[in-house]
Chain A
């Protein structure tokens, strides 16, 4: 693991330890009240979900056209993180919606596209696990579709009618809410980098095990 990993992990742990205080002292929103504070974890995890789908897609493209197994390992790591951050997004969202909209779920463009993106990441992992020989390239194709879905998720609220908050809510946030959001975004981005590095390291070690088995058998 790189030298920066442990200091960065400590910094990330400190940020997560401070986050309940930062969020608890945030002002409540006029219409949503206390439930607005879900936004501080929901939105950064949604961004990491989309970022991870892009990382997975780009790494898969590079693996398909370059054949470098290093890119394949990055794609696997990113796919797993897409599932993790997607799950957080898709669970915290309905908890917000229950109070805000009076329903757990609506089949609008953003929420449905997010669910599809999450299922594509799951299908990537399932194909990798049970697909047999050649499943790495088959899964790479899925990852490209997962990445292609990301712009639709992002712009959907501005293009199609929905009751989901628009993308304008972030730049228009008042300062007491805005700095808290960027604190959480920094925290989640650092966590994403650390988890990605850790997961890639796991794949590298697995590749080493495979190489050792081959060396022993020959």
Chain B
């Protein structure tokens, strides 16, 4: 092996090792595979998360109600159009 090839190999290993260590460090957190009830935990160890919980439910409910109102309004507008067009048809003698 030539000196140049050895040098390239050493540089390659040197650059890969910290990256591999970093990847390993980032992957230390394991995904949750199971949920366990926390009935036995003392109150102080429970995480206060009310704002996040309320925020999540509030967003979901506002989005759903907003969508129902939006569809109802669009449906109302279309039904008004249909009534107007049908009366136009009758007036023009084509209804």
Contacts and interface: CB of A to CB of B under 8 A. Distances in A.
Interface of A: 16, 20, 27-39, 41-42, 45, 84, 87-88, 91-92, 95-96, 98-99, 101, 157, 161-166, 168-169, 172-174, 176-177, 191, 195, 198-199, 201-202, 205-206, 208-209, 212-213, 215-216
Contacts of A28: 37-39, 41, 46
Contact of B92 (A27, A35, A99, A216): A216
Interface in B30-63: 30-39, 41, 46-50, 52-53, 55-57, 59-61, 63
Contact of A165 (B32, B37, B47, B50): B32
Contacts, number: 146
Closest 7 CB pairs between A and B?
A35-B49, A33-B47, A27-B37, A212-B85, A92-B56, A30-B38, A30-B36
Contacts of B55: 95
Contact of B38 (A29, A168, A173, A209): A29
A205 B79 contact: yes
Nearest to A88: B60
Contacts of A198: 68, 71, 75
A41 B60 contact: yes
Tell me what chain B mostly uses at the interface: helix, strand, loop, or mixed: helix
Contacts of B68: 195, 198
Nearest to A40: B57
A20 B53 CA distance: 12
Nearest to A101: B29
Contact of B85 (A101, A169, A201, A216): A216
